[in-house]
Amino acid sequence: MGKLVLLRHGESVWNAEGLFTGWVDVDLSPTGEAEARKGGELLAAAGIRPKAVHTSVLKRAIRTANIALDAADLHWLPVERSWRLNERHYGALQGKDKAQTREEYGEEQFMVWRRSYDTPPPPIADGDPYSQHGDPRYADLPPELMPRTECLADVVDRMLPYWYDAIVPELAAGGTVLVAAHGNSLRALVKHLDGVSDEAIAGLNIPTGIPLVYELNDDFTPRKAGGEYLDPEAAKDAIEAVKNQGSK
Ligand SMILES: O=C(O)[C@@H](CO)OP(=O)(O)O
- Nearest protein CA to atom 8 of ligand 1, as residue: 114
Exposure class string for 201-210: b at 16+ Cβ within 10 A, else e: bbebbbbbbb
- Give the model confidence (pLDDT) of 81-117 as tens digits: 999 999 999 999 999 999 999 999 999 999 999 999 9
**Is the predicted ipTM greater than 0.90, yes or no?**
yes
Whether pLDDT at 1 is above 80: no
Which residue from 1, 71, 11 is spatially nearest to 35, judged by alpha carbons? 11
- Give the model confidence (pLDDT) of 182-191 as tens digits: 999 999 999 9
- Give the model confidence (pLDDT) of 34-81 as tens digits: 999 999 999 999 999 999 999 999 999 999 999 999 999 999 999 999
Per mean pLDDT, which range of 26-40, 87-101, 232-246 is the poorest? 232-246
pLDDT for the residue numbered 248: 57
Residue 98 CA: nearest ligand 1 atom is: 10
In the chain, the domains with their CATH numbers are 3-243 (3.40.50.1240)
The model's pTM is 0.97
**H or E, element range at 246:** none
Mean pLDDT of the chain: 97
User: Any catalytic annotation for residue 87?
Assistant: yes
Cα–ligand 1 centroid distance for 183 (angstroms): 7
Residue 84 · residue 162 · CB < 8 Å = yes
Integer Cα distance of 94 and 76 in angstroms: 34
